Chain A
């Protein structure tokens, strides 16, 4: 008997939870209201069945629970009832599936005039690329990746020379214009997920995947990675800024172009050592784990590190000098900072590169420029 009461209470509690829940789909910020509608249809149909099943059990228990002298009916089959229920189920399934497939057909056909943007993922950071005046993205391959070419663009491809690069968490998009998002990954699976735009796709190394949407609401939105990509997965943050066309164009115009950016990055040593160190750290993906603004991350932060004491995993302390930083780059497991997992691979950098990174870390001390 208790089970009947509990099932009824569960149904009531579930409906109340649904009605009162402050947790629901984030307010829509794209054209994909149809997805929400399909979801609502599905929720109504399945919710009704959920209520019906539980109440049926409750009623059956109340009416037919064992009492003295009670005997069950003998009814092996009832063809009519069984067929009826089968067809009813089939109708319910079609009612959910049909709109779903119509929406899906639209989801996978991007409009021809869409703005193209490429998103490149790596552990655990984002980078973006827009085509230049020629309207075409240059080809790319992993073998081209280097200190002066973090996204691996093909230097021989003229279409890529004017591509605009945004290496860092922030992506700007114009309001109200369809966007076709092309996705690449440099290392492992990632997934470009912005909850309010609903649609998304995995990023798979070795291939280009895509999805499309139209931003319909201006604002700043969290970009999350939604495919487990290693120990820093939960911290792979990005920001999608949706703004009016004019603001977007201003931002886009300020981005470095591939050919020009390459020359700056390739500036021989002798210039600003710290700036060169920052470039190397950027290309090597150091910022995926090491923050430069004091924020918590997968690895120890760099701000305020140089010249200060650090506590190691074995409890000993030492001063973070150039020699320690060099060792930490080339043999990271040798002296682990307390509280951090031993996951960093060794990097075979030459003395000049190590010195440049050390200089960059030193430059982050306190008041120095902490932004990237």
Chain B
């Protein structure tokens, strides 16, 4: 970190083993999108089986459960967490706070390479004997390490090892992001002048630092149970007629540890999305974010509350039923700051000057999608309503809308928004609109009807639904419809990938600040920003990040670093 920041010259140091936060961000983003593509294909395999059972021989029950598990794990951890913190966090934190780079560039580079190793170990599990684990992304013991579950030998071991490596990578990155935000802000950039994007990523990173250890502990203990034969989580068991050597352990102990990580994980994904979407809405509506301070406190409150709600994932787990009262109350309390955020996004639109650009469309799509996903959370957080719905398709619809589709819409919006800064070129607008409409309407077509299959009582994680008397034929028809919608949405992502590749080389050249944004990343001397970001002089910040359409100004925005007295034409 004490080395001088002279721009590196060779190809390897510039593009591969680069310590520049912008290059590392692109590496993280590309890797996450690539592994996310695998997750997308896996989801379509599942949908093919559910929509047209028996028509596709190559999807047997084993493959189905492996696809289900790997889809979930890839999307939650290796795509969403990695792209939001490693991708957006890496690119935006230094630029938005006016720093030249992360405070520990070498550690930052290491974080990416360790993440890549985690991804490779995960992918390696597809080719080991028995294939990847099919235990569900929750990896609940005893089932995850016993015969009867696909990949119960090598698959689960590689899965756990990959997660442990990922956690090391996330911790390296996380220490860097938090320290950078705390220590490397430009002159004048007080905490209450930070853009909400930085606030969201900052709080999410703190959560990641302190929640991932719970996954680490449960992962190591599960590895002990699997490899060394300890009985941390394993009680006495007769598996497939054979008594095992385990004794006395508690499967619930694993669930507590897992969800102590697992629920904050939802907010590790959601908080950066909250932050980014706030900035998208404000910029493209040309209006300051409504209630900025309330938004910051809501992010902090959600972050703090998120560590005391974990057992709402365990209402029917067999834990002490008295816990249900406590966790139902805390869970519904967290709805209040979350609702405040939604109100403030809506009120930001009101009396704005709404430019319906592609990033704005994704942002508006996010509000709609997040609203329904958040509202269905009120069913599942309220313990007695949760009981008939838990482990049904209602849950599948809920979490896909709230922490799958909603954040991914923000990620897309963010990529369309910042692509001009990253590449110096605009993304193709027409392709972008097609991508938005197919994804947004398609996601509604997929997930809205799923709630009703959940009301009906169709359990999730079923390979087939033959001969269940309470499931009418029409439910199978609906499943076929959902599958068709899922295939269309998946195909629409090819438009996005094509747009990304095409625009990077052929896109219309972008100006330094095409959206008229106030935040510092748009005020760099070069586009894309050079090594060290700011040329000779780091910026000095004079105001908050949302000075849009102030009275008495000709232009409808004032950058954070514009001197206060300078006449703005």
Contacts and interface: CB of A to CB of B under 8 A. Distances in A.
Contacts of A228: 65, 135-136, 140, 143, 461
Contacts, number: 355
B370 to A, nearest CB: 9
Interface string B549-568: 11100001000000000000
B453 A66 contact: no
B296 to A, nearest CB: 12
A63 B35 CA distance: 41
B462 to A, nearest CB: 4
A105 B321 CA distance: 9
Contact of A204 (B149, B252, B372): B252
B429 interface: no
Interface stretch (B155-163, B272-280, B324-332): B324-332
A78 B350 CA distance: 13
Nearest to A145: B238
A57 B452 contact: no
Nearest to A152: B238
Interface string A191-205: 101011011111111
Interface string A283-327: 111101000000000100000000000000000000000000000
A58 to B, nearest CB: 9
Nearest to A341: B62
A82 interface: yes
A97 B332 contact: yes
B336 interface: yes
A12 B146 CA distance: 48
A158 interface: no
B375 A46 contact: yes
B316 A75 contact: no
Contacts of B241: 283-286, 347
A49 interface: yes
B436 to A, nearest CB: 9
Contacts of A191: 316, 391
Interface stretch (A15-23, A244-252, A359-367): A15-23
B319 to A, nearest CB: 9
B465 to A, nearest CB: 7
Contacts of A3: 356, 361, 364-365
Interface string B351-377: 111111000010011011001100110
Contacts of A35: 384-385, 387-388
A101 interface: yes
B318 A207 contact: yes
Given A3-B364, A196-B470, A25 B292 contact: no
Interface in B216-251: 235-243, 248-251
Interface of B: 60-62, 65, 130, 134-136, 140, 142-143, 146-150, 235-243, 248-252, 285-288, 290-294, 316-318, 321-322, 324-325, 328-329, 332-333, 335-336, 339-340, 342-344, 346-347, 349-356, 361, 364-365, 367-368, 371-372, 375-376, 378-379, 382-385, 387-392, 437, 440-441, 444, 448-449, 452-453, 455-457, 459, 461-465, 467-470, 472, 474-475, 478, 546, 548-551, 556
